[in-house]
A and B are shown apart, each in its own frame.
Chain A
């Protein structure tokens, strides 16, 4: 999978999560641009991305302000290698 695939795959996950056309989102898309993007939907999106890429986004995932930031975070985490189980406190 090359780096460009990461963005395309994330757009596909976003499309599935929010019921929108993948072509309608891009790196500049923010939570305000998509109807129904609330805190639960954001958490669901993060969980789907983590499962898809087998990575742990960590708390930074919650703070991603647009899809560009999310894609950058995923690329960074993939470079770090597969996720370890996120342990609770």
Chain B
């Protein structure tokens, strides 16, 4: 192991102190089909140094953005740690799925790369060799894992100023219009301390996760929190987990896991996979934390019913309200105490009122009280409105973007609708056109923009929206497009070909698979009085089944 500074300070202090005191302690376990990889403090330090020196050799300075596009592997961790050590700004990037066209996927990121203004992109040798041209080689210095060789130079450990941006999180699910949330060293440190207190984190905890690290929930709970606190994380690859969801619980049993974060759909996916012939003891898990999608009572109840005989009880299922703009958590129910629910009138909710009596009451899950360091209030005079937040770790804006519209007198508008009840946050839905698909954010207007470029779709005549699907515990995306576009002869493109073109465009550029695609005649979509396509009215029309496909 290479030499380390003896008196570290700032963001890296705890990490470096642990590297000095307990170099052989395992910090991460990466579980893959075919074998595990363990990563100790010493390995993180040495691996991080290799990457820190690589970035410096590549010309990186303090603040240089380092985009990391790697599979789940020790190098993914080293590349991130190396960026922090070098004073660079790491940002985790998703990789194209096997169904996406890699060239189109990377090409679609060019706008993002131009917005960032250059930097370094870390990827594997195959991506670099095959798609180098599409990776905006004129903007980015592309380095690979093979380049991260040992360096004889002095160890690097950047002394982070509290106000310096130390990490970028891209909040939107789309590509070209991604917003980079800027996280400062102070915000990250304060948030981790506050959130650790809220969940009662101790050194005995073990986090078990399948969450991708380019997602805020994965980045913070599975990477940043372990790095800053020393708690161990056991990570299974998201694709491996999806096809074998119960493998997560095998890891919990094997590694004495105590904390598991899951988006709402994952509770349903796990419950659907439960089989009578197996049993894993989950009684020692302190909390399964429902986050990133609105927590649904039905999903939670299904999960408890499915795994009750595995030792799961209501007291273990907790909820969190989080977003990249606050590093992660805004509110969190407290492990050890059953998460609260309240029953309110559905009609009252539609009138933005909280009526706790009535025959039409529905049950809602609390996301808990705000964590220390953050304030929450509801915009406007009604009990229900947009959730506003401010505090120590709310971001100051998006990377190189005018973010003033998101703030009002220091309060950040979350775009989420909800209410406060007995000091706890309840999230109802969204004020914006955001669609949350399996925990990932998309914006309807951005999907529609992509649809407009499909040959055969009439320009400006497409609508995208999300509908909650109880069977999977998440929203599904539906699109309605009018025929037309570049081919005015409506019969020129067959339905099946247009459908495939729509699918391909959404998959390659957004990684999105819509649940339904409706191809309708010109003039089907309803315009508002201002002449714009009315998403709300078209959802109603769609649900009424009045659309007639050509």
A residues with a Cβ closer than 8 A to B are 31-32, 35-44, 46-47, 51, 59, 61-62, 85-89
Contact = CB atoms under 8 A, between A and B. Distances in A.
Interface in B429-479: 438, 472, 476
Q: DSSP majority for the A interface?
A: helix
A39 B97 contact: yes
A88 B246 contact: yes
Contact of B249 (A39, A46, A88): A88
Interface stretch (B54-62, B70-78, B270-278, B286-294): B270-278
B2 interface: no
| Band of interface residues on B | 35 or more
B503 A32 contact: yes
A85 B242 contact: no
B472 A44 contact: yes
Nearest to B252: A88
Contact of A35 (B254, B277, B517): B517
Contact of B242 (A35, A43, A87, A89): A43
B234 to A, nearest CB: 9
Given A43-B269, A86-B246, A89-B33, 4 more contacts: A36-B516, A40-B472, A47-B273, A89-B31
B505 to A, nearest CB: 13
B514 interface: yes
Interface in B229-254: 236, 239-240, 242-251, 254
A39 B242 CA distance: 8
Contact of A89 (B251, B277, B503): B251
Contacts of B254: 88-89
A47 B251 CA distance: 19
Contact of B513 (A36, A85, A89): A36
Contacts of B250: 87-89
A72 B244 CA distance: 20
A89 B514 contact: no
B477 to A, nearest CB: 9
A71 B98 CA distance: 21
B532 interface: no
Contacts of A36: 476, 513-516
Contact of A38 (B245, B247, B249, B513): B513
A44 B33 CA distance: 19
A11 to B, nearest CB: 19
Contacts of A32: 500, 503
Contacts of A39: 97, 239, 242, 513
Contacts of A43: 242-243, 245, 269
A89 B247 contact: yes
A62 B243 contact: yes
Candidate in B236, B244, B246, B278 with the most chain A CB atoms within 10 angstroms:
B244
